[in-house]
Amino acid sequence: MYLNNEIIQQPVNMTMTPDYYTNACLNFINDAIKQKQPFFLYMAYHPTHHPQFASSRFFNTSQRGMFGDAVSEMDYNICRVIDYLTERGI
């Protein structure tokens, strides 16, 4: 996994990427708020694509198998971003 030109994780633990990406989004939004700058955020989660995966928190939690687990985790993380924006009046 890269952050700009730096390898930050190798090999990548794919089950940790949704939380990592969401936290990076929240930090990005927070930095824009502090700098009073408008921002554009495009976030694409991978776990719903092949191969599908979910973190231990969401593993075997849906009736739709691994795909359902991945969608549930993606939904949870998208809600984290929406809640963060809502709490800040954005």
For 11-63, write each residue's pLDDT tens digit.
988 888 999 999 999 999 999 999 999 999 999 888 788 778 899 999 999 99
Give residue 45's pLDDT.
87
Distance CA 84, CA 30 (A): 9
H or E element that contains 78: helix 65-87
Q: How much is the pLDDT for 46? A: 83
